[in-house]
A = this chain, B = another copy of it.
């Protein structure tokens, strides 16, 4: 596996607004106006993120009159994202919270003391 290449893709997906733009487009073909309307992000912000997605070859653009339509280069990406969504929804809550911090170590304990992990109730193994 190539960590560098993957990290680039993950980094691009690792922004909630960019993801919302991607999910908004889905497997369809959307004009920038539609995206702005659906997300309520500013025009410049949408264009900024669309450029990033386009330059990463995740989206392709096509002008039609005054409008520019965007769609996925490879729609399989959506299926992968969907699988990640299932995975995330099964994860411990912490990563889904504002200040996610899995209690590993949990409050009052320390990783160095041997007891941590919300679900494992680990104890020091000698």
* A contacts, CB < 8 Å to B: 1-20, 23, 54-58, 60-65, 68, 73-74, 76-77, 80-85, 87-92, 94-96, 100-102, 104, 111-112, 114, 116-118, 120, 122, 124-126
Contacts and interface: CB of A to CB of B under 8 A. Distances in A.
Given A13-B14, A89-B2, A100-B56, A116 B80 contact: no
How many copies altogether?
2
Contacts of A58: 95
Given A111-B61, A111-B68, A117-B60, A81 B6 contact: yes
Contacts of A117: 60-61
Task: Report, nearest first, the 6 A-B pairs whose CB atoms are least far apart.
Answer: A11-B14, A10-B14, A57-B102, A7-B16, A3-B19, A10-B13
A8 B100 contact: yes
Given A3-B23, A80-B84, 11 more contacts: A2-B96, A3-B16, A6-B13, A6-B81, A10-B19, A14-B14, A54-B104, A55-B94, A60-B104, A73-B92, A77-B87
